[in-house]
């Protein structure tokens, strides 16, 4: 497996792991809210009225903990998984965040002064490049190297943010770069 293929595989794994975590978190939050809603709308709640206030509170909150126990435990497991992933990103960060003058000049020359990111319909943005940024975000473990350098206009750079790029975006950028540079790999993640 070549360096480019291993990075693409790793990017796919990281991207889809995080997408699945987001989806599972949203589904478990809906599960939690559904459990609370069903608990409070059940006909049994109306029957609890007789007795002391203390008995009422014990009955309601005791039953509520039973209702939300499974979704809450699942959410805690997802939060632990997200924390472990985030910790790995912090450990993997490149000690140098800013690109050197040489890297910026070389990256801007390679892009011919134009933004390399997509504007619409997978086409290259037509704006002038104002920023040199990490394609794979530095905050997520991206390397500060020419391979991970992307020239971007301010609008595309703000839109990209510090999100991990999708594997499709990586492929499209490599395909576009091949038309004006030649075979250049895109993106690099710092090693363990």
d(CA 153, CA 82): 31
Write down the pLDDT at residue 108: 92
Please count the residues of the chain: 192
Which residue's structure tokens are 């790999």?
185
3-state secondary structure (DSSP) of residue 183: coil
Q: How far is CA 121 from CA 21, 125, 152, 172, 174, in A?
A: 28, 10, 17, 11, 16
d(CA 99, CA 152): 14
Write down the pLDDT at residue 158: 92
d(CA 151, CA 134): 9
Q: What is the 8-class DSSP label of residue 185?
A: -
Low-confidence ranges of the chain (pLDDT < 50): none
b/e burial code for range 94-119 (CB count within 10 A of at least 16 → b): beeeebeeebbeebbebbeebbbbbe
Write down the pLDDT at residue 68: 81
- Quote the strand ranges of 85-190, DSSP E: 131-134, 149-152
β-bridge mates for residue 139, sequence order? none
Write down the pLDDT at residue 49: 54
Q: What share of the chain is helix, strand, coil (3-state, %, to 5)?
A: 60, 5, 30
């Amino acid at each position: 497996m070549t360096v480019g293929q291993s990075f693409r595989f790793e990017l796919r794994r990281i991207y889809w792991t995080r997408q699945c975590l987001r989806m599972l978190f949203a589904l478990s939050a809906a599960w939690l809210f559904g459990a609370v809603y069903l608990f409070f709308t059940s006909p049994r709640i109306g029957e609890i009225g007789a007795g002391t206030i203390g008995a009422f509170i014990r009955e309601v909150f005791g039953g509520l903990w039973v209702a939300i126990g499974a979704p809450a435990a699942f959410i805690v497991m997802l939060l632990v998984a997200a924390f472990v992933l985030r910790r790995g990103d912090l450990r993997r960060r490149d000690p140098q965040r800013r690109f050197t003058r040489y890297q910026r000049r070389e990256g801007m020359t390679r892009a011919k002064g134009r933004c390399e990111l997509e504007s619409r319909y997978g086409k290259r943005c037509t704006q002038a490049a104002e920023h040199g940024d990490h394609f794979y975000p530095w905050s997520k473990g991206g390397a500060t190297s020419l391979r991970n350098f992307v020239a971007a206009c301010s609008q595309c750079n703000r839109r990209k943010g510090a999100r991990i790029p999708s594997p499709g975006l990586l492929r499209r950028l490599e395909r576009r770069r091949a038309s004006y540079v030649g075979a250049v790999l895109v993106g690099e993640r710092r090693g363990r």
